[in-house]
Copies of this chain bind each other. A is one copy, B any other.
């Protein structure tokens, strides 16, 4: 295992401590429950938007906390759902008169723990609702899900809800918005290598030197098939067809286009992929009005990438362009 890690048991707490130390003014940190939150939250009259899932997908979700994005994130261990009591403490810490919205990616562990936490919070009189994201077109059911998985499309649900909540949207309005984004966003990814959780110390699956996993999940779950590695354009063509064909996207659509790196793929390759995706959109008469190229939802150091497309209307275009601030400094 070649990683920057001390005791693997402390990997997540040390990462969280690093994030908190790097953002002393903007973020608060509750070590006992792995909670990273906006230092100025909760605020009454604003819905708190929160999320918690396994670690190992950074910058999702702890580095998506900030004004106009998430109000708090509560990660579990690497690739493990946060314990129910962590979820409940996060809801309690972020409770607001306007309510709490929990964004859940569709994995059984996450859903189970959040469902229990929401029930207990409601029993305490907290106004909390949840929404499940399932944007991955690769497979209908998978190792850890009934139904489709939630992957990088989650970013757009966070951004839209974060912006709308900042403008005063109610909890019901946010649930309607979640449903709109989730119904219009589709993703699919490809892995070129496996990855190694620090506490496991060995790769979570094996992939031959000339192989790729088409439709991989963000925890290494099997996708549609294993295939021989192909040229970049051929790979993009396959995932573009799968993603664009799913709603389907059609000529005249305006979209946000994301090429998401899975952790170990450098920016140069992501832009080679973007080039082909942009060409395919142009050929299909689809207008890319906003684009994202980088690491948004990773699988530790996995080499690979995913494509996410979101169909936009005026409301979504406006919300994506809203100001936001997160725990990542670019310049």
Interface of chain A residues 217 through 235 with chain B (CB within 8 A): 229, 231-233, 235
0/1 per residue, A4-41, Cβ < 8 Å to B?
11110001001111110110000000000000000000
Total copies of the chain: 2
0/1 per residue, A303-329, Cβ < 8 Å to B?
101000000000000000000101011
Name which of A2, A232, A292 has the most chain B CB atoms within 10 A of its CB.
A2
Judge whether B294 and A267 touch: CB under 8 Å: no
Judge whether B272 and A14 touch: CB under 8 Å: yes
Whether A266 touches B301, Cβ cut-off 8 Å, given contacts A273-B4, A292-B329, A294-B328, is: yes
Name which of A69, A212, A269 has the most chain B CB atoms within 10 A of its CB.
A269
Name which of A69, A209, A278, A305 has the most chain B CB atoms within 10 A of its CB.
A278
In the complex, which residues of chain B have a beta carbon less than 8 angstroms from the beta carbon of A16?
271
Name which of A63, A235, A274, A275 has the most chain B CB atoms within 10 A of its CB.
A275
In the complex, which residues of chain B have a beta carbon less than 8 angstroms from the beta carbon of A330?
294, 326, 328, 330
Interface size range on A against B: 35 or more
Interface of chain A residues 133 through 163 with chain B (CB within 8 A): 159
| Chain B proximity of A215: nearest CB distance (Å) | 16
CA distance A330 to B273 in the complex (A): 18
Whether A22 touches B231, Cβ cut-off 8 Å, given contacts A209-B2, A328-B294, is: no
